[in-house]
Amino acid sequence: MFDFFQQESFLDKVIFGNTVLRYLVSIGMFLVPAVLLFVLNKFVVSRIKKWISKSSWKLDDFAVDVFEKIVYPLIYAGLFFLAFNNLSVAGQYKALVNKTGIILVTIFAIRAVIMVLNFMIVKVAVKGEDDEIRAKSMKGIMGLIKMVIWIIGIILVLDNLGYKVSAVVAGLGIGGIAVALAAQAVLGDLFSYISIMFDKPFKIGDFIIFDDVMGTVENVGIKTTRISSLSGEEIVVSNSALTNSKVKNYKKMVTRRVLFKLGVVYGTPKEKLEKIPVIIGGIITAISGARFDRAHFSAYGDFSLNFEVVYYVEGNDYNKYMDINQEINFKIYEAFEKEGIEFAYPTQTLYVKK
């Protein structure tokens, strides 16, 4: 009985304004949920992670990542905050803890926003065979986005802590306008870079032509795009110049349409003229990778009877196209020579009146 009263008096003992019992309750408020959370993570969440690691779906990995890096720390911070508020402490200490809580919540909120944006931009918006290359390119603008988000977050924290930030915001606004005017060309290239990344008119490795420039895209940077020309030199072009120009992307070509014309002499008999479309159609049809479309006697020229031929080459390989084109030309020449059909060339007939 004496021990019980001694124990009761010990629990009622006041230390720094709180009884021992209140300290124990506060510790229990923090430790019990924390231990349960630890057990949950150890035996449940870890198994969920092993299960989703076998899945190709990106969203479940992202959800677990957010839970571990954002939700867990916030829960522990919240438990500590509740346990601390259960104690009777001086106002200045409680205010300090409240301000610390505001700072922590803001930091984790900023981290959550950055994680969501990073997931949307780098992992979701980037699709296709060039995922890895494009993801690395997209990370170039993530640094700028993170800087802007952190600046906004710091301003919000200062405002919530009672500091007057209106002058700072006004200063940033005026400074932003000055920087925007001074770096107008750079910002234009930056927005063009973002447009290229999302619109995807071309990618690294594509062969493009715009204005008088042609070559293979080697790198897409924040300000410039580097192109390797056919003659070997590297051409550096501003991103805004690309987005403001008509760009031909030959890498995305599925089939190449080829149109060519040839002329025969005016003395060619009608029977042989009628054979020409059939001869050309048979030659093209017999060649692998080429698809014949049409061949017609199209016009009377100044010195020739003109035929127009259209065919298609499957794929975007230029060397393959040139090989097929060469084979067609050789076989047409051979067939015309066999049939006695003469190719026309510029001639003039001069009549002399006596």
Rounded to two decimals, the pTM is 0.53
For the chain, what is the mean pLDDT? 80
**DSSP state letter for 228:** E
Q: For residues 138 and 222, give the distance between their C-alpha atoms in angstroms, rounded to a whole number.
A: 9
- Whether the CB-CB separation of 250 and 207 falls below 8 Å is answered with yes
Q: How many domains, the chain?
A: 3
Residue 239 lies in a domain: yes
Q: Give the domain extent around 235.
A: 201-249
pLDDT band of 327, cuts 50, 70, 90: very high
Last residue of a domain, one of 116, 145, 167: 167
pLDDT of the residue at 59: 67
Q: Residue 283 belongs to a domain with what CATH number?
A: 3.30.70.100
pLDDT of the residue at 124: 53
Residue 174 lies in a domain: no
Q: Residue 226 belongs to a domain with what CATH number?
A: 2.30.30.60
Residue 266 lies in a domain: yes
Residue 180 lies in a domain: no
Last residue of a domain, one of 150, 167, 184: 167
Among 29-33, 298-302, 319-323, the range scoring the smallest mean pLDDT is 29-33
User: 161 with 23, same domain?
Assistant: yes
Q: For residues 194 and 140, give the distance between their C-alpha atoms in angstroms, rounded to a whole number.
A: 10
pLDDT of the residue at 181: 54
What are the pLDDT digits (tens) for 129-168?
A: 455 556 666 666 677 778 888 888 887 777 777 767 666 6
Tokens (6 digits) for 159:
């405002």
Percent of the chain whose predicted confidence (pLDDT) is above 70: 78
pLDDT of the residue at 169: 63
Q: Does the pLDDT of residue 312 top 50, yes or no?
A: yes
Burial of residue 53 (CB within 10 Å: 0-12, 13-18, 19+) is exposed
User: 279 with 322, same domain?
Assistant: yes
The listed range with the strongest mean pLDDT (89-98, 229-238, 296-305, 342-351) is 296-305
Average confidence (pLDDT) over 18-34: 80
User: 286 with 242, same domain?
Assistant: no
| DSSP string covering 257-303 | EEEEEEEE-TT--HHHHHHHHHHHHHHHHTSTTEEEEEEEEEEE-SS
Among 39-48, 234-243, 326-335, the range scoring the smallest mean pLDDT is 39-48
Q: For residues 25 and 86, give the distance between their C-alpha atoms in angstroms, rounded to a whole number.
A: 8
User: 303 with 245, same domain?
Assistant: no
User: 220 with 259, same domain?
Assistant: no
User: 293 with 146, same domain?
Assistant: no
pLDDT of the residue at 1: 46
